[in-house]
Amino acid sequence: MRTLDFGRNSPQKTVWWNVDLGGIYSIYSINILFGQYIGFDERQRGRFAGFSLYVSNTENIQGSSLCYKDGTRLPPLNFTTTCTESGRYVIFYNERLDGVTYPTGYEVTSVITELCEVKVQGCDNTSFYGSNCDTPCPTNCKDSTCHIQNGTCFTCTPGWIGIHCNTKCGKGWYGDNCRQQCKGYCKDGTSCNHVTGQCDEGCDAGWTGKLCDNECEDGTYSYCCANNCSGHCLNDSPCNKQTGRCDKGCKPGYTNGDCHKACKEGYFGRNCSQICSPNCNPDTCRHTDGLCINCDTGWMGYNCTTANNQIDVRLC
C-alpha cells in the first residue's frame, strides 16, 4: 500500500502518482483499489474525491490526455472507468487548495490517499483494436493508434479526415485536419497535394518554390522561371512573369510583345513609328533615336537634315 499525505493542513496542497506501463499501450479501462477500513468508507471516499486521471507518454501531466475527472458525488473505493487512450503512464492527481470550497463529503484538511492496487486493461499493441486486439487500425490513423473498441482514429495523418481517416482533404486544402489552404499556383490550375501542399505537376508559369507561392525573380518568366526577359521593356520595368511580354510597352527602338525585336531598317523610336531621314544611308540610321552615322553627300547633322554648303575646292 502506498500512502500520500496532502491537504490544507499539510505542507503539500496537491498529490500525484503515476503507473509506468513500461511501453506505449492502447488502454481500455483503469481500475483503482483504494485503502478500505470497516466503518470508515465515507471518510476514505472523501479523502480521494475530486481526483483526475491522465494518460501520457511522459511522467508529466503537461501535454497528457485527461481521461477522467471526479465530480461532486463521492467515488467508490473500488473504482473503474473506461479510458480509451494510448500512452505509457497513467497519472493520478488530486488537490485541496486554500480558498476553494469543495462539495459536501470531501475531506479538506489533512488528507491521506492510500493506493492499494491499479489495474490497466487494454491492448499491448496500439496499432490493433477489438476484443482480441487483432484488428489493425485504419491505415491513416496518426501514429497508427485508434479507439480500442471500435477502431476509430483519434487523429488522422496529414491529408486525411473522417472517423476512420479514409477521406482525402477537399480540393484546395491539405495538411493536419485539412485546415491548411493551398496557397500556391499549381500548373494548369490543378490542386496541391492533399498531404504536403506541394504541386506535384509543377508550378504554373511565373511561379516557383516547393509550394509554388514565390513569384519568378524580376527579369525571368515562364515555367520554372527558365526564360529571361528581353531587357528592352519601357523604363526597365520587368516583363510579365507569366508570358514574358512588356505590359508597359517597349523602349524606343524595339517592338513586338516581348520587345526582343529591333525596328526594321529605316524606322526608329517608340513603337518604331518614326521614319529615318531620307538623307541618311538607311543601314546607318540608329533604330533607337534616329541618329544617322553616315549622311548622303550634301547633308550633315544629327539626322542628316542640315544642308552641307561647304565648297570642295581642289587645285591641280
- CA atoms of 293 and 119, how far apart (whole Å): 102
Could you list the residue range(s) of the whole structural domain that residue 62 is in? 2-123
Looking at the predicted structure, is the pLDDT value of residue 21 above 90?
A: yes
Same domain assignment for residues 241 and 314: no
Same domain assignment for residues 236 and 315: no
Looking at the predicted structure, is the pLDDT value of residue 282 above 90?
A: no
**Average pLDDT, stretch 27-47?**
93
Q: Is residue 101 included in any domain, yes or no?
A: yes
Short-list 43, 91, 42, CA closest to 63: 91
Q: Is residue 282 included in any domain, yes or no?
A: yes
Backbone angles phi, psi at 132, to 5 degrees: -105, 10
Q: Is residue 15 included in any domain, yes or no?
A: yes
Does residue 27 or residue 4 have the better pLDDT? Answer: 27
Q: Is residue 173 included in any domain, yes or no?
A: no
Count of structural domains, the chain: 3
Same domain assignment for residues 21 and 40: yes
At residue 109, what is the residue type? T
- CA atoms of 170 and 160, how far apart (whole Å): 9
SS (H, E, C) 130-175: CCCCCEECCCCEHHHCECCCCCCECCECCCEECCCCCEECCCCEEC
Q: pLDDT tens-digit profile of 288-306? A: 999 999 999 889 999 899 9
Please count the other Cβ atoms lying within 10 Å of the Cβ belonging to residue 35.
17
- CA atoms of 108 and 160, how far apart (whole Å): 48
Same domain assignment for residues 27 and 40: yes
Q: Is residue 130 included in any domain, yes or no?
A: no
Looking at the predicted structure, is the pLDDT value of residue 312 above 80?
A: no
Contact 253, 272 (CB under 8 A): yes
The fraction of the chain above a pLDDT of 90, given in percent, is 82
Per the confidence metrics, is the pTM higher than 0.75? no
Give the pLDDT score at 1.
Answer: 60
Same domain assignment for residues 74 and 106: yes
Which bin fits 126, alpha (ψ -120 to 50), beta or left (φ > 0)? alpha
Same domain assignment for residues 274 and 234: no
Same domain assignment for residues 31 and 13: yes
Q: Is residue 111 included in any domain, yes or no?
A: yes
Domain CATH code at residue 77: 2.60.120.260
Q: pLDDT tens-digit profile of 101-110? A: 999 999 999 8
Binned at pLDDT 50, 70 and 90, residue 316 comes out as very low
Transcribe 222-257 into DSSP letters.
SGGG-EE--S-BGGGPPPPTTT---TT-B-TTEEST
- CA atoms of 53 and 45, how far apart (whole Å): 16
Give the pLDDT score at 80.
Answer: 97
Same domain assignment for residues 63 and 8: yes
Per the structure block, which three cell numbers stand in for 175? 495538411
Q: Which of 123, 153, 183 is the last residue of a domain?
A: 123
Same domain assignment for residues 74 and 21: yes
Looking at the predicted structure, is the pLDDT value of residue 45 above 90?
A: yes
The fraction of the chain above a pLDDT of 70, given in percent, is 97
Q: pLDDT tens-digit profile of 225-279? A: 999 999 999 999 999 999 999 999 999 999 999 999 999 999 999 999 999 999 9
Binned at pLDDT 50, 70 and 90, residue 310 comes out as low
Same domain assignment for residues 22 and 69: yes
User: In which element (H, E) is residue 33 found?
Assistant: strand 14-34
Dihedral angle sign, alpha carbons of residues 37, 41, 47, 49: positive
Q: Which of 91, 123, 155 is the last residue of a domain?
A: 123
- CA atoms of 187 and 185, how far apart (whole Å): 7
Same domain assignment for residues 234 and 316: no
Q: pLDDT tens-digit profile of 113-157? A: 888 999 999 998 989 999 899 999 999 999 998 999 999 998 999
Largest interatomic CA distance in the chain: 151
Q: Is residue 175 included in any domain, yes or no?
A: no
Chain CA centroid to CA 56, Å? 26
Contact 85, 27 (CB under 8 A): yes
Q: Is residue 272 included in any domain, yes or no?
A: yes
Give the pLDDT score at 4.
Answer: 77
Contacts 24+ apart (CB under 8 A), 3-7: 3/35, 3/112, 3/113, 3/114, 3/115, 4/112, 4/113, 4/114, 4/115, 5/110, 5/111, 5/112, 6/94, 6/95, 6/96, 6/111, 6/113, 7/96, 7/107, 7/108, 7/109, 7/110, 7/111
**Average pLDDT, stretch 196-212?**
94
Contact 216, 225 (CB under 8 A): yes
Same domain assignment for residues 76 and 117: yes
Q: What is the mean pLDDT of the chain?
A: 92
Q: Which of 66, 88, 123 is the last residue of a domain?
A: 123
